[in-house]
């Protein structure tokens, strides 16, 4: 499900799992080859704390199921976000991050 779909940039060869919610009011860009698990939530606007900002998920990144991505976050190229993670800050390219809040746990080889 996507709200404000006119602000969603969706590249080819992406995979978005069932029951994922995207709020694209302030922009969401999902680049080529991104995989997003089921039951994820991606917010460019959080009405609870009135935070907003474009969310960018760069090429080849993977987001595990049941994860939440908050406004203004960029997930770097080929990064992996583990399942059930709460992403409140940028995740650099080529790392594995997970947790609540999500933290970088290791660099990919």
Angle at 61 between CA 27 and CA 17, to 5 degrees: 75
Average pLDDT over residues 33-39: 98
Q: What is the pLDDT of residues 48-107, one digit of tens each?
A: 999 999 999 999 999 999 999 999 999 999 999 999 999 999 999 999 999 999 999 999
- Looking at the domain covering 2-107, what would its CATH class be? mainly beta
Read off the DSSP letter of residue 33.
T
Residue 109 reports pLDDT greater than 90: no
pTM, rounded to two decimals: 0.96
- The residue extents of the domains of the chain are 2-107
């Amino acid at each position: 499900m996507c709200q404000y779909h006119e602000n969603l940039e969706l590249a080819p060869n992406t995979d978005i799992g069932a029951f994922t919610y995207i709020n694209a009011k302030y922009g969401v860009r999902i680049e080529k080859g991104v995989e997003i698990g089921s039951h994820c939530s991606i917010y460019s606007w959080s009405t609870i704390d009135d935070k907003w900002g474009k969310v960018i998920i760069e090429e080849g990144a993977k987001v595990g199921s049941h994860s939440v991505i908050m406004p203004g976050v960029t997930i770097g190229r080929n990064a992996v976000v583990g399942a059930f993670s709460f992403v409140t800050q940028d995740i650099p390219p080529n790392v594995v991050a997970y947790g609540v809040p999500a933290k970088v746990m290791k660099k990919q080889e």
